[in-house]
Amino acid sequence: MNKKPKAIIALVLTVLTVALIIWTCFFSGGSYWVFDPQGPIGQAQKELIIITTVLAAVVILPVMIMTFVIIWRYRDRPDSKAKYKPHWDDSVKLETIWWGIPIIVIIVIAVITARYTYDLEPSKPLASAEKPITIQVTSLDWKWLFMYPDEGIATVNTLTIPEDVPVRFELTSDAPMNSFWIPQLGGQIYTMSGMAMTLHLQADQQGTYYGSGANFSGEHFAQMRFDVNAVSREQYDQWVNEAKQENNPLTEEGYAALAQPGVGQKSTYSAFPEGLFQEIVTKYVVEGSENPHGGHGAHAPSETDTSSEEASVDTASASGSEEAQASQSHSGH
């Protein structure tokens, strides 16, 4: 088989592959949540993805096209009209082009990414006339616990938020590290034991959105999914009132059972122990030691933490006094 049919087959296969990818992404009827944002954070992240992809294509597409052109033009054939320059070794013009354009593109991408990174900082509150609601999120094996401290209710594997209202998520873990992700509202953020992370999101449209744990965490990792129900403010207030009327509080014992490894079902609790989230965050901190992640905490230290710090200071002071007395005794000798 001569080389010409091989080149044609390679070109046809490449074109078909690109066409299949484009059809799959845009015309197959599938749902691509990241490209269907329903909130300001998701929309900004979509813009960043598109901008960086287009800028990268400025370099990638010409390279791909030139690769096929060079292969075709300079293929081995008896009637080739391509110039033969065995002693050619450099070209200032060409090197300026293939070094200059990528450098410019990289600089532009770096500037744009830096600006978006600052604007999309997860702990940065969203500009809104509405007062944010706070939801405390705990990832467990293999379920999600959501606590509403202002409303005094809690849910498992289901989340309800009002539309057009900023939501302040405070996130931690009482299990292996995971990642909290609602694709249509914004990017993912890690949940880690001993640390309270902060994430601000908002839903601009009513609807039910997909949420999941995006970090592998063991046997039932694939079951760590939850629904996000964005409703009107009136519907949200009604849902809160109905949840409070249910006689199903989450107790300390109930949480201990919930924290055991296993797949959880959707459930709603009319109440939960006060300070439970802070207890979970500080659960693995050794008493008397400084929490290395304290600077990332969503809450100020509790009274227990303050008492521990005071006790540590008193102990240090007493120790210092003993050392001073011992020094004076040695000085007498």
pLDDT at 317: 42
Q: Distance between CA 119 and CA 65 in Å, rounded?
A: 36
Query: Would you kindly state where each structural domain of the chain is located, as residue ranges?
Result: 31-77+88-119, 133-284
Find out whether 123 and 58 touch, Cβ atoms under 8 Å.
Answer: no
pLDDT at 34: 87
pLDDT band at 6 (very low <50, low <70, confident <90, very high): low
Strands 158-162 and 197-201: unpaired
Q: How many CB atoms within 10 Å of residue 256?
A: 9
Q: What is the pLDDT of residues 178-224, one digit of tens each?
A: 999 999 999 899 999 999 999 999 999 999 999 999 888 888 888 89
**Residue spans of alpha helices (H) in 217-295:** 233-245, 252-258, 276-281
Region 149-155 average pLDDT:
96
Residue 252 dihedral angles phi and psi, to the nearest 5°? -60, -45
CATH superfamily of the 133-284 domain = Cupredoxins -  blue copper proteins (2.60.40.420)
What pairs with residue 146 in β-bridges? 137, 155
Q: Distance between CA 276 and CA 285 in Å, rounded?
A: 15
Calculate the average pLDDT of the chain: 83
pTM of the shown model? 0.75
Q: What is the pLDDT of residues 235-260, one digit of tens each?
A: 999 999 999 998 899 999 999 999 99
Q: Is the pLDDT of residue 323 over 80?
A: no
pLDDT at 200: 97
Distance of CA 229 to the CA centre of its chain: 19
Find out whether 200 and 23 touch, Cβ atoms under 8 Å.
Answer: no
> Which of 42-51, 58-67, 173-182 bottoms out in mean pLDDT, i.e. has the lowest?
58-67
Region 257-275 average pLDDT:
93
Q: Distance between CA 272 and CA 255 in Å, rounded?
A: 9
